[in-house]
Amino acid sequence: MSSLGRWCAAALLVVVGASAATWAMATRSANRAGPAVADALPQRVDAPWLWTPPVGRAGGPAAALVLGGSTIGLRNPVRGEGTVDLVDAAGTGHRLLGFDFDGVNVPGERLLLSADGTRVAYPDGNDILLLDVRDGGTHRLVSNLGVDTWYLPLAWSPDGRQLVAAQDRRGDHDGVGLVDVASGRFTELVPVTGGSLRRPVPGYSAAYSRDGHHLAIQVDERITLIDDGVPTGSFAVPAGSRLAGKGAWSPDGRALALVADQRFSSTVSFVDATSGKPTGAALPAQEGVTTQRLLGWRPDGAAVVAAYLPEPDVPATFDVRDEDDHPTNFAAVRRVELRALTPAGAARTLLSPPDQVLAIDVADDALASGAVRPGGPAPVWPAAPSIAAAAVALLLLPLVGLVGLVVLLMRRRRA
């Protein structure tokens, strides 16, 4: 082999070795331990970097938040689509999910974070897929009624053992019930005929009480009450009202929160959880929002809502609901933020993510703890291992080539 050949071989080994070492370091760094549980809510969250690592392998932290949108750090650099970000309780640990934020896998609506922040559930084909955010492992909840049946997750139980889900048998019979996470078996609680569940309102159709004993399910304009898996009654809600979100049960379990929207104004009021009669209590109306969703309650009694702020140039004639009548029409939303509301006080902002963060879900345990952490900017490192290795190779190739050229020229001079 000529001296030039030996030099090229050595240069190639240097580039490959450095890239492999970088890949290994990035993998170890991406898997470094963060908060093992979702025990706090960060006060600041920035957008991730384009090279933020994906979820995967063992050792990752639980997620306190799941964010979705199309801000620069959440935009796939190849396809141009937005994606989904898992954020730990410290507010500085970010990992991306391997699919697009496309109006389907929407955090808090069709993509639901478990109470302890360790799993997300989302529809995948006909079934529901569970993803462990700590290691990227997946578990498919297989439909027990055949390939002509699909499921849509609506709410996690507080203990993570069950999911409320809508079921569609493609024109034969619809219903809402419970999916056992261990077995994947579906048990119907609210039968529906006539296709009423063709267009459910994800994020607003089911709510568990904090102790997990009581469940409220809304189908059309009627709420059915479930106690320990057994239907106990139902009542009608006023037209235009709906369950306020997964945190709709009051802390004492005596009332349910309903949300009603007018144009760029949204109000949460309460009804008796047995009779459905208004209690007279309400949270302060939120002005300048397209809608809000009640996520849970803090120990000080404040309700935590996700408030959806509109684009500043949305015309007065623009329909803030989308074609499926969902209140979170992302063509009209600029960003989402978390607010704490009390009947007697003004709204207090808990978290204000960057513009174009359009959807959010929060681990119940993070809210219930009442704890906060300062959060901070997304770290530049770690990077996705493949991106880090490719970047090192691209940086080293011209450098090694330049060194090789200098060596070659020096040898020719001597000759």
d(CA 333, CA 310) in angstroms, rounded, equals 4
Residue 208 lies in a domain: yes
Sorting pLDDT into bands at 50, 70 and 90, what band is 346?
confident
Asked whether residue 11 carries a pLDDT value surpassing 60, the answer given is no
Higher pLDDT, 270 or 390: 270
pTM equals: 0.84
Closest CA to 111 of 119, 100, 120: 120
> Domain count of the chain?
1
Give the residue, 220 or 289, on which the prediction is more confident.
289
> What mean pLDDT is predicted for residues 257-274?
93
Residue 120 domain-assigned (yes or no) = yes
Q: At 77, is the pLDDT very low, low, confident or very high (cuts 50, 70, 90)?
A: low
pLDDT tier at 196, thresholds 50, 70, 90:
very low
Note whether residue 110 is domain-resident: yes
Residue 192 confidence (pLDDT)? 77
Closest to 62 measured CA to CA, from 116, 120, 130 = 116
Interval 276-333: pLDDT, tens: 999 999 999 999 998 999 999 999 999 999 999 988 876 665 555 555 556 677 777 8
Is the pLDDT score of 404 beyond 70? no
Domain that includes residue 209, residue range: 33-237+358-381
Q: Is the peptide bond between 284 and the residue preceding it cis, with omega within 30 degrees of 0? A: no
With beta carbons less than 8 A apart as the criterion, state whether 205 and 166 touch.
Answer: yes
pLDDT, residue 337, reads 96
Give the gyration radius of the chain's Cα atoms. Answer: 25
- 18 belongs to a structural domain: no
What whole-number distance in Å separates Cα of residue 376 and Cα of residue 379?
9
When mean pLDDT is compared across 72-86, 87-101, 137-151, 239-253, the lowest value belongs to 72-86
Q: Give the residue, 102 or 8, on which the prediction is more confident.
A: 102
* Range with the poorest average pLDDT among 188-197, 254-263, 300-309: 188-197
CA-based nearest residue to 55, from 91, 72, 30, 24? 30
pLDDT at 384: 47
Q: Is residue 220 situated within a structural domain?
A: yes
pLDDT digits (tens, 9 = 90+) for 27-62: 454 455 455 678 899 999 988 877 677 777 545 789
Q: What is the pLDDT of residue 389?
A: 46
CATH of the domain at 133: 2.120.10
The answer to whether residue 199 is domain-embedded is yes
pLDDT class of 134 with cuts at 50, 70, 90: confident
**Would the pLDDT of 351 be above 60?**
yes
154 in a structural domain: yes
Please give the pLDDT value at position 58.
Answer: 45
Cβ-based neighbour number of residue 313 at 10 Å: 7
| pLDDT score for 18 | 43
Residue at 83 is within a domain: yes
Angle at 101 between CA 98 and CA 102, to 5 degrees: 125
